[in-house]
Amino acid sequence: MIFDACHSGQAINNFVKLGDGSQNYTASKGDDDEGQRIKNIDKLNEQTGFFILSAAASGQSAYELSRYSQGLLTYSLLKTMKQDPSILDNKNQLDVSKWFNASQEMVKEEIRKQNISKPQEPQIVSSNSFKIGLVNDAVYNAIHLADEKPMFTRSDFRNTALPLDNIKLRNLIDNEINEISERGNNSGISFSSDYQGADAYTLSGDYTIKGKRIKVIVFLIKGGTESIINFTVSGSTDDLKKVSEEIVNQALGKLSSKID
């Protein structure tokens, strides 16, 4: 049960604990027979689990920011589903507790970043967690976020002479992309090694090594199928980090020019 509205924490205040702590009964206030309410909620807990997420505490506003074109809680729920693999079990099973908690933290962080003077603190009530559904390619591709950063996923490079990535160039490039993505609002990109959406960007290519010189032919792939940019980077095998930085910097520069 999700309430994305101002003062929605009051809905939680209208739910009370009944019985002793070990019984874990939850029931709503009202004129219904108390015993029947306990029975109904207990049955709900046993069969499906019971979760409530409200956008804000009682007395707080639930903000709708123009840059996101929707309520901040709704935006956070969609963004975590699309970009946070930690809320998924077995890479595609959406855990409702992890999802709600990650979204709660994102709302609070966005309020801090936007320098909004009055807080918005989502409230969670739960009894036990469960898998609410599968997050697959169709789900990823159906979620369109306002002001969305390009999402990069795991790269793929190989030495043409073998063919395999014997110098682990892919790892260096992925680490570089991840470091940039963790710079917060100034990063301009996001990174998730497991993301497989149609809007995912991947750096891919082949390299040749002669002595201590390396030449890398790089392709920027979108959605796993469309090559949108290609270029060449050369450097020394004694400084592969510099080579990986040059590859990433060129890719991001060319992508930025193409998007603009």
**Average pLDDT of the residues in 41-62:** 70
| Segment 210-230, tens digit of pLDDT | 999 999 999 999 988 999 999
Domain boundary among 96, 120, 142: 142
Residues 6+ apart with CB under 8 A from 229: 219, 220, 251, 254, 255, 258
Domain boundary among 91, 109, 142: 142
- Whether 100 and 51 have beta carbons less than 8 Å apart is answered as yes
The residue segments making up the domain with residue 223 are 151-259
Domain boundary among 142, 177, 192: 142
Highest mean pLDDT among 21-30, 39-48, 70-79: 70-79
Which of 255, 245, 6, 243 lies closest to 120 in space, CA to CA?
6
What is the rounded distance in angstroms from the CA atom of residue 250 to the CA atom of residue 239?
17
Q: What three-state secondary structure class fits 235?
A: strand
Residues 101, 106, 111, 113, Cα dihedral to 10°: 150
Residue found by looking up tokens 């082949």 in the block? 206
pLDDT above 50: residue 236: yes
